[in-house]
Structure 1
Amino acid sequence: MTGSTCNIHLHWHNDAVYWCESGSGEFSNAVNITVQNKPRPVLTVSPSWLSPGASVTLNCEVEHPSAGWRFYWYKTVPDLSHNSYSYKLLPGNSRGTEQDSYIVHGQTHTAGYVCRAGRGDPVFYTENSEPKFVWSGDLHPAASLTVNPDRVQHFTSDSVSLSCEGNSAEWRVKRFPEHGYQSDCSYWRTMTGSTCNVGLYWYDTAVYWCESGSGEFSNAVNITVQNDYHYGIILVSPVHPVTEGESVSLGCRFRTEEKLSSVFFYHNDKLIQNDTRQELNISAVSKSDEGFYKCQFAVMEPKSSSSPVLLIVLLLCGIVLIILLLLCCCRKSTGETLIIKQSLISSDVM
């Protein structure tokens, strides 16, 4: 209170009826003040996974949209000291854009984005949107994430180590589940130095990546957890890229690790190997190897099958990238690239 004036920085809890009272016992007229929370826009990114150099489209949606909004676009910068992000304005939108979409050209690495909107004079700004991420399996990221054991699919109760490497002394491992919000390892497991040690449960199926104290993002990997205790089976496949011409081994593993009398490997639902071997060896990866892979065995009825892995082979300067993706759908980007997508379909019993 300064003299006869009360200055208030309004928050939601300041909703109230206000009036004045004088020292001589008089009352003023009363006024009702209501405070509306700032709207929070919803940001979407497309695609969620990209091949190096592809364009990313950002869309910023404001609830109850009306004329006059301008949109502001930011890239997230990891701030490990405050366990949060700072935001760097993207090029060409210092005054905002009239369009509610923005295209990022030539994106090569995993990155996070945020948007907000503003209108009026002076400008009234919305809250910042929740960060949204675009993930990359880039072969040469500034930082890298390694997984031990080196496979995409795991069983419930398996122990997995996620380790960050690069030119930084400080790291955090982040994850984004199929249905949920991004969080870092210190909230759900144990982070020791640059390594996150995880005892897996069904809800640990997610995309994982590293963020460094110097603001860098690593490549991203997808980890899925098989939750079938009775007929558990996984397709063992590497989480990291392989180059064209290299050999690749896909294994079939049963939860109890018993010796299997007959193992079936399928490529696009076509049986390609049926014997006692629990590995499918591809001597040199090529275009003809793309498609869905899964393994199956019949140790008991009903038959049990692994979740499928979608292998897409497209050429980029003679290099084959195998990227395990969150969505079970194919997308051919402009130019010639190659991706492997890992579906998040839970293991089915056939």
Structure 2
Amino acid sequence: MKTRCVFHRLGVCVLLLSGLTVSSVSVDVFPNVQQFFRGDSLSVGCADVQTDGWTVKRTLTNGNTGTCAEFGRIDGSFCVVNGLTLGASGVYWCETSSGQQSDQVSITVTDISVILDIPALPEETGSDVTLRCRVRDGSTVKAEFIKNSRTLTSVPVEEWTISVDHLSDADQYSCYVPLVGESPSSSLRVKGSGSLSGTTISVIIAVVSLVVLVLILVLLLWKKHKGDSDSSPPVDVTYADVTIAQAANRRDKHHGEAETVYAGIKTNTEGAEDVTYSHVVIKGQRSSRRNHAQSSDPDVVYSSVRPRNT
């Protein structure tokens, strides 16, 4: 699965899942049972694999993990394991080269003279499952069926049917044949229960990544909109009723432009650009040298400018 960075603003790098393809990866078992006698054969297949590079893997009860090339042989879409040994007990699953995994199936190999026919693959909710007890010659025999160490039948019967509606992965089933022995215990799984498969995890990652991407895009758009709002040009403002305090010019020799100081200008609009002054009242002080005051412009101080409300 490839990733690439498409945004790097605000210190955030958004990763897009490029070329994301979620193919269906499921495991198949033949025969579809969990318990085997030592020496039996088992075939584990990868169904609905849409890409090359798949393999069957297993993790034994001792914790060792291996691929089909180490414990079996490839035959079409199946990994065939002949002559099962007691050490072959564990969980088996399919895995692609991209890391997608199927559900796991539990396999038990025993030397006991009786085994329980219980499906290895998960069952659909609402269906019924029939349990049987089998001996080494392959025939089914009457037995007492047991759930969580409690006998379900008062007398030996050929089979026992249970509903999948109220199953729990914690429930353990076995069968007991008088004068022969009791089978190993196994649980019956329902589709959708147990741990998430690799395909499901890939879908979750894709959805979460898309949600994060949308949130980042919304954040960037909000930041951009806020910046545009802050930098918008100011509106035109008209100042009215301006009072100017005038001081007499004591310098006779200067006839240039008066020095002007703006102070105390109050507006009701921030950042005015175009300003029009109207209704200006100039207050002047008498000069000791009237001819000098008339010959040059006075220094002007703008103060107490009050904007007219429009």
Instruction: Give the structure-2-normalised TM-score.
Output: 0.50
Greater share of strand: 1
Task: Identify the structure with bigger relative contact order (alpha carbons < 8 Å, sequence gap 6+).
Answer: 2
Instruction: Give the structure-1-normalised TM-score.
Output: 0.44
Greater share of helix: 2
